[in-house]
Amino acid sequence: MPRRRRGYPVAVLVGLDEEGAHLWDIYSESVKPGQRLASTGSEYSLSEAVVDQLRPRVKEGVKTVVVASEDRARYQSLLGHVERHHGWLVRGRGMNTVTFTYLKGRATAAGEVRALAASEEFRSILRGASEDGLDAVMGALEKRLGTSEGIDSLMLSLEEVEAGVYGEEPPELILITEGFTRRHRSRAQRLAQVAHNRAVKAVTVPVDSRHSLRLEQLGGIVGITKQTSNRE
């Protein structure tokens, strides 16, 4: 039997109900169940546990968190906690901002998640949130392209990105279009795996994104290194 394609990471879905939280990893071609976090009666503790699970996903490049609940107050409680205690998630500079969004519904069981993921409302929310996250990244990229110092911090070819990821000074983030991945499938897959192993954020830009054409103009792949002297 052929192995089912997982695709690239798109978002994290957090289902909240009276019993706690259930995390699901949303990929372009599949959904993978994540951790189940039981409620202890403390909203603070549950919110902290959710953030602890989000950290490694954000480090890998996920920039969209969809919170599903039948009670919007649960979403507002989690978002308020994040804004008060983990502002770096929602107020990060440029490439480090994560978008939180609400979806009314249940997402604590596989059947519920399949139903949500198949709905046009979910796909629309996901597209909007993903584009919002990319807006910040692309804004930072365009600023760098406007100065010689900024251009020096960019890797603008597959060879340059590979040298960085496989070398001693990997980039902070890689932007790669779906079209580029299809054209260089084996090299792109290996690059993504090594980037994951080295904690390099990698964001795949879908073909229907408003930013896809601009990235294709730049070659379809861009590596972005850290800048310490300038704010983005």
- Determine the topology of domain 146-224 in CATH: 60s Ribosomal Protein L30; Chain: A; (3.30.1330)
Confidence band for 218, pLDDT divided at 50, 70 and 90: very high
Confidence band for 2, pLDDT divided at 50, 70 and 90: very low
How confident is the model at residue 84, as a pLDDT?
Answer: 94
Q: Which residue ranges make up each domain of the chain?
A: 9-133, 146-224
Residue matched to tokens 């596989």? 110
Cα–Cα distance measured from residue 72 to residue 87, given in angstroms and rounded to the nearest whole number: 21
How confident is the model at residue 1, as a pLDDT?
Answer: 39
Say which residues have a Cβ less than 8 Å from residue 191's Cβ, sequence separation at least 6: 158, 161, 162, 165, 174
pLDDT in tens, 17-73: 999 999 999 987 788 998 999 988 889 999 999 999 999 888 877 888 999 999 999
- Tell me how crowded residue 157 is: count the other CB atoms within 10 A of its CB: 14
**Cβ contact 222:171 at 8 Å:** no
Q: In this predicted model, which residue has the larger pLDDT, 228 or 154? A: 154
pLDDT in tens, 177-188: 999 999 998 999
Q: Which helix (H) or strand (E) holds 82?
A: helix 72-85
**Cβ contact 125:64 at 8 Å:** no
- Average pLDDT on 115-143 reads 86
Listing DSSP states for 129-168 in one string gives HHHHHHHHHHHHHHHHHTSHHHHHTEE-SHHHHHHHHHSS
Amino acid residing at 186: S
- Given a cut of 50, whether residue 128 has pLDDT beyond it is yes
- Given a cut of 80, whether residue 3 has pLDDT beyond it is no
- Residues paired with 27 in a beta bridge: 9
How confident is the model at residue 92, as a pLDDT?
Answer: 65
In Å, how far from its chain's centre is CA 75? 19
Q: Mean pLDDT over all residues of the chain?
A: 88
- Determine the topology of domain 9-133 in CATH: Nucleotidyltransferase; domain 5 (3.30.420)
Residue matched to tokens 């020096």? 152
What is the share, in percent, of the chain residues with pLDDT greater than 90?
52
How confident is the model at residue 4, as a pLDDT?
Answer: 55
- Average pLDDT on 210-227 reads 93
Cα–Cα distance measured from residue 47 to residue 208, given in angstroms and rounded to the nearest whole number: 33
How confident is the model at residue 199, as a pLDDT?
Answer: 83
